[in-house]
Structures are given as structure tokens and as C-alpha cells.
Amino acid sequence: MNNLINDGLGLMLLGMGFVFLFLCILIVATTFMSKLVARYFPEAAPVIKKTVSTPTPIGAQGTDPKVAAAITAAIHQHRNR
């Protein structure tokens, strides 16, 4: 019985050790690949356009009047329950 528990604990530690080692290798590999991509394929700087626009009220961005009426009717019906 004692030998079986020792074998189980040994297998558990061996398995956990392999998983931990694999995860460490995975972290190192992804960090290396990230630095490699950032070095040889740098991200282009975004072009910022300075435009002045007036804010439009919510719902005025081209909403279909029939859809707005249906939503308003649904809200009104829900509140009257």
C-alpha cells in the first residue's frame, strides 16, 4: 500500500514538473517571438487627422424612422404592463 502511494506521488510530481517546464518554455518562446516580430515588423505610426465635427444626438445617426417608432412603441408597451 505504501509503495503504491509513493508511486502515485512520484508520477504526480513528474507530471506537474513536465507541465511547469512546458509552460516556462512556452513563456520564453512567446516573449522571444514577440520581440522578434516587433523588431523586424514594427507597427506603423497611426495618422491622426484633426477634424472638427459637431456631436450628433443619439438616434440621429441615420436611424430609420420606422425602427425608432417600433422601439418607442415597445418601450411604451413594456412600461404600461
Give tens-digit pLDDT for 4-42.
999 999 999 999 999 999 999 999 999 999 999 999 988
* R_g of the chain computed on alpha carbons: 31
Measure the CA dihedral 61/62/66/71, to 10°. -20
pLDDT bracket for residue 56 (50, 70, 90): low
Mean predicted confidence (pLDDT) in 40-67 = 75
Asked, for residue 4, whether it belongs to a domain, the answer is yes
Asked, for residue 30, whether it belongs to a domain, the answer is yes
Asked, for residue 8, whether it belongs to a domain, the answer is yes
Confidence at residue 53, expressed as pLDDT on a 0 to 100 scale:
66
d(C-alpha 78, C-alpha 81), whole Å:
6
- Show the domain range for 27: 1-42
Confidence at residue 11, expressed as pLDDT on a 0 to 100 scale:
97
57, pLDDT greater than 70: no
Confidence at residue 60, expressed as pLDDT on a 0 to 100 scale:
56
Asked, for residue 7, whether it belongs to a domain, the answer is yes
What is the average pLDDT value for the chain, to the nearest integer?
A: 88
d(C-alpha 55, C-alpha 78), whole Å:
30
Asked, for residue 59, whether it belongs to a domain, the answer is no
Domain count, the chain: 1
